[in-house]
Amino acid sequence: MRCFIIVKERHDEGEWDWVLVGPDMQAAGSLDARGIEDAIIAALGAAYGSLKSLDPVQVVVALPSNARFWMLTDEIAHAYPGVAVVPFTDDDADIRAAAVEALAVHRSGPLQPLVVATDGSAHRGFIGWGWLAGDGQHGFGRQVPNARIRDPHSLVVLSELQAIAEAVRALPRRDLTIRTDSRVALALIHDWLGGEMSMPKGYETEHRAELAGLNRMHDELCRESERLSFEWVRGHVGEALNEGADSLAKLARRFAEGTWGLTADEIPGRALAIAETFSSPVASAR
């Protein structure tokens, strides 16, 4: 098993925060140290109670190959039986990202739950999707699905599910309340979370080429289900986040069509303006 350890100095000289992350385990704390190498060794000692239950375990450390730390590996192994410190490799990128995020949470406190509106748009064989969170975070994208999908309803469902999946991917490790105005997408997700492998009408026969993407959405939403809740909202009645998500989805779809008149460089600025308008306290109070 490989874990990743990360330390970061506080503004107060000599004070360090540390986090150790591995499969199905996480430990964190704060300590005094004279420098980064000393902080890592002290953090290993603080985390050893958790590490020794994983014996043997490799703890990944991201320090230069010429760091003095690597001269102490035998001493560390002797002091902490069952633990081996090893250098970072590209294969450790995911676990390092998890540790960086865990350290940010440890330093600033738990991430607050978010309300996120999602929406999709489809027209003339093009789809766009968008999502907007209550704090202004947002995302949007466009897609040209399989040309054989000509049914507008099928494209709308695909775009709605894509918007939800993209929001969940973009906002990891925090509780989300996702609002959608699509009863069909919501019913499918409820089926998925209930253990059924339902698919939108026509995708198991006419539109099989899109099943890989839908299967991925199914797997991701089921895996993240404990932090997700879903609400249906009526569309186009002035609910601010829903209107913002709708505008982002249409922006993306019209850009895909080439009918919006904006360049690729101008689109992010327009999207930001939409997000700021519809996530503002004034808009949310309407």
pLDDT in tens, 20-41: 998 878 899 999 998 999 999 9
Is-above-0.85 flag for pTM? Answer: no
The answer to whether residues 165 and 263 belong to one domain is yes
What pLDDT is stored for residue 282 in this prediction? Answer: 43
The answer to whether residues 94 and 121 belong to one domain is no
- pLDDT surpasses 50 at 10: yes
The answer to whether residues 137 and 255 belong to one domain is yes
What pLDDT is stored for residue 281 in this prediction? Answer: 63
- pLDDT class of 226 with cuts at 50, 70, 90: very high
Instruction: Give the end of a domain, one of 93, 108, 123.
Output: 108
Least confident segment among 43-52, 130-139, 204-213:
204-213
Instruction: Give the end of a domain, one of 77, 108, 139.
Output: 108
What pLDDT is stored for residue 265 in this prediction? Answer: 87
CA distance 35 to 30: 13
pLDDT in tens, 155-204: 888 899 999 999 999 998 789 999 999 999 999 999 999 999 888 776 76
Indicate which CATH number applies to the domain containing 64: 3.30.420.10
The answer to whether residues 103 and 149 belong to one domain is no
The answer to whether residues 143 and 266 belong to one domain is yes
pLDDT in tens, 214-223: 888 999 999 9
What mean pLDDT, rounded, does the chain reach? 87
The answer to whether residues 33 and 131 belong to one domain is no
What pLDDT is stored for residue 37 in this prediction? Answer: 93
- pLDDT surpasses 80 at 211: no
- pLDDT class of 248 with cuts at 50, 70, 90: very high
What pLDDT is stored for residue 285 in this prediction? Answer: 44
